[in-house]
Amino acid sequence: MDGDGGARASLSLADNRRMNATTTRFDAVLFDLDGTLVDSETLGMDVLWEEGRALGMQVSREEAHRAFLGQPMGHCVGWVAERVSRPVSESAEEFTANFTSHVRRLQTQRFRDQLQAMPGAHELLSALNKPFCVATNGPRQKAELTLGLTGLLPFFEQRLFTAYEVGHFKPAPGLFLHAAQALGAQPERCAVVEDSLPGVRAGVAAGMQVFSLMDVDGSLMATGRVQRIAELAELHELLAA
């Protein structure tokens, strides 16, 4: 008994916060999109990597995916540009514009051919009884395409917020703070569902509780604002209050 009491006393603030995340009442839920609700992350990153390789980029698929995950297109194209040789007649600005347009076209086709909703997405969104939205680093055109292809677009209507329109990209918290205000919820009463490090960092910086579909480092877990989940189905209970 003494040992059990000592163990309880030794629980850190972060431990207690993680335990409380399972009983917190949330007023709104903010979903990332790519890799969270729709299985587009890998498809889109593969196109970027393949087209970079076609221009002479010598990096592995795994390394490229680590660099691309959760990042806006501009960052990804810049990363590729540093690793390929562009035509002498093409300026850096021209390369960026042309390569971005080319990749977007190929990604759109791949999404049309292969995109699916993440397992459990339809069921979770159908069951939620509180305001929710999408807050994505991607542009509206892409978000509406992927949500439409997977049958999820009707769930969101006017509740789709993009970093391009808001002017804040994750890992900055501005996109999530904007979405919370639009939903009429205080940041500390919002749940964020994410699958990338920039998104998890943005949620923590916004003062929200983050449910992460990926492993994150100890410093983020120590904030007490991140809880690891393996699949969307776990959120039925975590968001039910």
Which residue would you say has higher pLDDT here, 86 or 17? 86
Strand partners, 135: 161
Specify the pLDDT at position 9: 37
Helix, strand or coil for residue 241? coil
Specify the pLDDT at position 21: 54
**CA 205, CA 7: separation in Å to the nearest integer?**
30
Instruction: Answer yes or no: are the C-beta atoms of 185 and 27 closer than 8 Å.
Output: yes
How confident is the model over 22-74, as pLDDT tens digits?
557 899 999 999 999 999 999 999 999 999 999 999 999 999 999 999 888 99
Residue type, 64: A
**CA 134, CA 132: separation in Å to the nearest integer?**
7
Question: pLDDT class for 88, splitting at 50, 70, 90?
Answer: confident
Mean predicted lDDT score pLDDT of the chain: 90
Question: pLDDT class for 85, splitting at 50, 70, 90?
Answer: confident
Instruction: Answer yes or no: are the C-beta atoms of 72 and 163 closer than 8 Å.
Output: yes
pLDDT at 110 over 90: yes
Q: Is 234 exposed, middle or buried (0-12, 13-18, 19+ CB in 10 A)?
A: middle
- pTM equals 0.84
The class of domain 12-40+116-238 in CATH terms is alpha beta
The residue among 137, 107, 146, 156 whose CA lies nearest residue 202 is 137
**Low-confidence winner among 4-8, 35-39, 208-212 (lowest mean pLDDT):** 4-8
Specify the pLDDT at position 27: 97
Percent of the chain with pLDDT over 70: 90
**Rounded to the nearest 5°, which phi and psi values hold at 24?**
-65, 140
Domain boundaries, the chain: 12-40+116-238, 41-114
pLDDT at 103 over 90: yes
How confident is the model over 153-201, as pLDDT tens digits?
999 988 999 999 999 999 999 999 999 999 999 999 999 999 999 999 9
Residue 219: CB atoms within 10 Å: 8
Specify the pLDDT at position 37: 98
What residues contact residue 53 under an 8 Å CB cut-off, 6+ apart?
none
